Every structure is written in structure tokens, then in C-alpha cells.
Amino acid sequence: MPTILRFAGLRVVVYPNDHRPAHVHVIGHGKEAVFELNCPRAPVLLRENYGFGRAQIGKIRQVLKEHQTALCRGWEEIHGAE
């Protein structure tokens, strides 16, 4: 499971044998959330949340949005373009 971004003690990962659409798993502090990337420019959307609070999700989403281009590129390197 390649880590493609780290911030605030969290890892943003893409599973090599995962399914489409392009998405990332944010893991850390005993919690996990899954965000759809909607590459290349659509909004990053929360799909699943296991333990993060509302404020934490908002901060995570903002960081993912700031790095969306690189995250989409990371997904494509692992899975190919959609």
C-alpha cells in the first residue's frame, strides 16, 4: 500500500489492487477515511469515515484538495488513467 502523502500524523495511501473510481485512504490515530478524488478538478468528496470528527474531516479534505493534482497522478501511476 503505497503512501503518497503524509501530513499531521496521517498517511494518504492508494491500494494497488483497489477499484475505481480514483480514491485515497487516509489513515492515522486509529482512524480511517476514504475520499473520492474525482480527478482531475471536481471536488474531493468523503465516501467513508471510521472515527474522524467533523472538523478533522474538513481539515483533511482541504489538504487533499490542495494536493489533488499530485494525488490523481499517484493514482494513475498505480492504476493507469481512467
Task: Tell me the mean pLDDT in the region 2-21.
Answer: 94
Q: How many domains does the chain have?
A: 1
Domain that holds residue 53: 3-79
pLDDT at 1 over 90: no
When comparing pLDDT for 1 and 5, which is higher?
5
For 13-82, the DSSP string reads: E--TTPPSSPEEEEEETTEEEEEE--TTTSPPEEEEEES--HHHHHHHHHHHHHTHHHHHHHHHHHH---
What pLDDT shows up at residue 73? 93
Question: Could you report the per-residue pLDDT of 41-81, keeping only the tens digit for each?
Answer: 889 999 999 999 999 999 999 999 999 999 999 999 988 87
- Statement: residue 82 has pLDDT above 70: no
